[in-house]
Amino acid sequence: MSIFLDAARGVDTARAPIWLMRQAGRHLPEYMALKKKHSFWEMCREPEIAVEVTMQPVRRYGMDAAVMFSDIMTPLESMGVDIDFKPGPVIAAPIRSMAAVEQLRVPEKGEIAPYVGALLRGLREVCPVPVIGFGGAPLTLATYLVEGSGSKEYALFRQFLRAEPEASHALLDKLTEVSIRYLQMQIESGAQAVQLFDSWAGLHGQDTYEVFGAPYAARVLAALEGMAPRVYLAVGACHLIPQIAALPFEVFSADWRQPLDQVRAMLPGKVLQGNLDPAVLLAPPAVMEAEALKVLRQGLGGAHIFNLGHGIMREADPDNVARLVALVKGFDRHQG
């Protein structure tokens, strides 16, 4: 039995299970020791190394779930996209025309990042807790493909949606099919839950998300129906919750901008995940603990998986993370 999977399926567990986005990686000294020997892409593509990185926070902290070590950009390489990390994703030839969209392949399931399937099979052999797979939502993947790299405002992509709607829909359609195949492959390879990262959904207004975001995320999530619990993350997207509420998922991962009790009122029947501000882990322990308790109390009233509102920061002190895990595991949700 797993407290994480119980909560993901809607059980109002006695304590909140905990895992943290980006828990496998840059804040851990044992990860940085590996990083001195291998590039990020090498670590992703070598299943034995990726298994080790995934297991590091499970061993150190006793997390209730392990999130596979990878990147949301991983499946795009099989579409013919040249990607590098410097340190964020950089696209050698951004997709900015219908002709470029038409050149993108839609690979078969078995062609998409086979090393991720090997990673998941390896994890299931050694991991004592459930393994979480993940992928990028079509809108977020398209953001990087069009913009070409990280950006503060992603203005080029936002204007592309309006200036080239036909090409935008064609791109999103291909990304949707690849995302479906990729996440199905993950579940078939051993992932016991999957998270769809719509990291840049919050950039858009309701009308834009209604046209270019929600329909494609819905297709991906619907294709996973009954296969594993589905988690949907949308950052900076409180204004989109009316549209998000209609998507087919079990768990909504909320960022830190809105209290969980308010989110729960807008998403009845959904499991909530989150939503401690990642910056709180940089604060003194007493401050961190007070903020975490606030989140735990706001998460009462239904199933809650404790997490951050987004990925853990590289500056986070592992000792503070260990304190957080102990606090969450010691909080009796049925006593409050």
Structural domain includes residue 309:
yes
Q: Is 154 left (phi over 0), alpha (psi -120 to 50) or beta?
A: left
**pLDDT (tens digit per residue) in 108-123:** 999 999 999 999 999 9
pTM for this predicted structure: 0.97
* DSSP structure string for 75-101: GGGGGT--EEESSSEEESS---SHHHH
Task: Report if residue 190 sits inside a domain.
Answer: yes
pLDDT-derived band at 155 (thresholds 50, 70, 90) equals: very high
Domain of 280: which CATH number? Answer: 3.20.20.210
Distance of CA 67 to the CA centre of its chain: 9
- Amino acid 1: pLDDT: 80
Cα–Cα distance for residue pair 301/152, rounded to 1 Å: 36
Average pLDDT estimate for 14-33 = 97
Determine the pLDDT at residue 85. Answer: 82
User: Mean pLDDT across the stretch 230-258?
Assistant: 97
Q: Does 325 reside within a domain?
A: yes
Q: Is the predicted pLDDT of residue 87 greater than 80, yes or no?
A: no
What phi and psi, each to the nearest 5 degrees, are found at residue 188? -65, -25
Residue 308 CA: distances (Å) to CA of 19, 144, 145, 280: 8, 23, 26, 9
pLDDT at 106 over 80: yes
Question: Which of 183, 174, 262, 296 lies closest to 230 in space, CA to CA?
Answer: 183
Rounded to the nearest integer, the mean pLDDT of the chain is 96
Q: What pLDDT is stored for residue 42 in this prediction?
A: 94
User: What pLDDT score does 50 carry?
Assistant: 98
Rg (CA), the chain: 19
| Residue 281: band (very low, low, confident or very high) from pLDDT cuts 50, 70, 90 | very high
Determine the pLDDT at residue 100. 97
Domain span holding position 317: 3-330
Structural domain count, the chain: 1
- Band of pLDDT at residue 336, cut at 50, 70 and 90: low
Q: Is residue 310 part of a domain?
A: yes
Q: Is residue 141 part of a domain?
A: yes
Cβ pair 107, 88 in contact under 8 A: no
| pLDDT tens digits, 188-216 | 999 999 999 999 999 999 999 999 999 99
User: Average pLDDT for residues 154-167, to the nearest whole number?
Assistant: 96
For residue 233, being part of any structural domain is answered with yes
- % of the chain at pLDDT higher than 70: 100
The answer to the question of residue 336 being in a domain is no
pLDDT tens digits for range 54-86: 999 999 999 999 999 999 999 999 999 999 887
Phi and psi of 277, rounded to 5°?
-60, 125
Instruction: Say if 74 falls within a structural domain.
Output: yes
Q: Is the pLDDT of residue 241 over 80?
A: yes
**At residue 29, does pLDDT exceed 70?**
yes
